[in-house]
Every structure is written in C-alpha cells, then in structure tokens.
Amino acid sequence: MLPEDFIEWAYFGRVRVIKRMLSGEIDPSKFIIDMTRHTPVLCTARVLEDGSVFVNAKVVGAGFVPKYNLLKEVIVKLRAHVDHLSDISIEEYRKEGLKLLLNTVYFEEKERAYETIDFERIAMLEIASRIPWSSKHTWRNLQENKRACLLYYMPPTISFELHGTIEVHTNGPYHEYVNLVHDIYHYPKSGRSSYPCLIMKVEEVYDNSPGPKGFGTRLL
C-alpha cells in the first residue's frame, strides 16, 4: 500500500482543495501549487534497435481509483452525472461534479477512504495517443516496456518518486471510470471521452524532499 505520508499529502490534500473550490475560497496563486498533487511527471523508456535507451517524460493528470469490487457502483453514479450534462450550465455541471467526487472518491473521513480507495494504484489517461500530431512517445514506450516512474513535486520542497508497472486499459471498468472522472469536471463537448487508461501498480515509493527524512528515502 502507498505510504501514509504520501496518501496524506496527495489524497487528503486533494480532498481539502476540492472543498475549497466548492466554497469559493480559492487563492489562484495557491491553487496552482495545490494542483501539483494532480500533475506528476510520468517517465517511461524503451530500448531502441541500436541498443540505446529512449527516455520520455511528460506531465500527466493522475488520480485515485476505488477498489475493484466497488468500481461498478461508482461508475453508475458518475455516468448519471455525465449523461445529464446537457440539462445544466457548465458552471453548475462542474460544481455538481466536484460534489460527486467528494461523495464517491475523495472522502474526508479516513476510515471511509481506506475502505473504498485502492491505495496501491494510481490512474491516468493517455490523451496524447489520440492526438494526430502528437509524438506519442509515452504510448510507444509503453508498448515495449510497462515499467514507469511518477515524479511528484510541490514547490518549494515536497517531492515523491513512485515506481511501478503500468497496465493499459482500452475498455472495461478502469477505462470507463477514469474517463468519467475526467468528464465530470471537464465537460465533454461531443460525447463521453474514451482515452486509453493507464493504471500504475505502485511497487516502490521514495521521499525526495530535502530534509532528514528525504533525499531518496525509501518509504515502500
């Protein structure tokens, strides 16, 4: 399981950000820093024909997933929200979407969070794979090598490094869930999103923050 220090910062920190967004108590400059919990750098690599190693890194949107046996129940609730987007304004749609996140995925109560969320996995969407002019470096790397690293950094000092194996889902519960989470706030203009979903099974976590407990200290 992900270490408690990371969960407190990445998960429960995001809960607090969502609550502030709903209350309208957002300081734009602080919000940019707070959102680094959502935007780590995904690092992937593959061996080329000449034997050299091609490395790629890009910023992604990353989040948490419910335990697999609870996914379908959550999907039903998220689907209902996305399917009635044409009935309300964009502002109301986003506000209701944030409320739904607090009721289905991001819980303030620790006991409920640990009962519901799979704190062994991190979820992402591979949006660039569907963009015609994209280099698709990440997508190509993952076809040959599923090992990857996520690097989180919140200025000025917080940093976590996660290593694990990526599962690529182009259909199924994980695929639908992660696309729905994207859509409940980002207001899809032409039907639901259907991007490939990346699920990292986290195997190692390091605290890279400068300080006596950091500088590459292994937490998992």
Question: pLDDT: is 130 or 13 the higher one?
Answer: 13
Q: Residue 105: pLDDT band by 50, 70, 90 thresholds?
A: very high
The first and second tokens of residue 49, run together, are 């024909």
The structure's pTM equals 0.94
Q: What's the pLDDT score for residue 44? A: 99
| Residue 16 to residue 30: CA distance in whole angstroms | 13
Name residue, tokens 């739904």: 100
- Residue 60: count of CB within 10 angstroms of its CB: 19
Domains of the chain: 4-218 (2.30.110.10)
Cβ atoms 84, 187 nearer than 8 A: no
* Beta-ladder partners of 125: 197
Rounded Cα distance, 11 and 145, in Å? 28
Q: What is the helix (H) or strand (E) element at residue 125, kind and residue range?
A: strand 121-125
What tokens were used for 67? 């335990």
**pLDDT category of residue 75 using cuts at 50, 70 and 90:** very high
| pLDDT tens figures, 159-212 | 999 999 999 999 999 999 999 999 988 877 667 889 999 999 999 999 999 988
Which 8-state DSSP code applies to residue 109? S
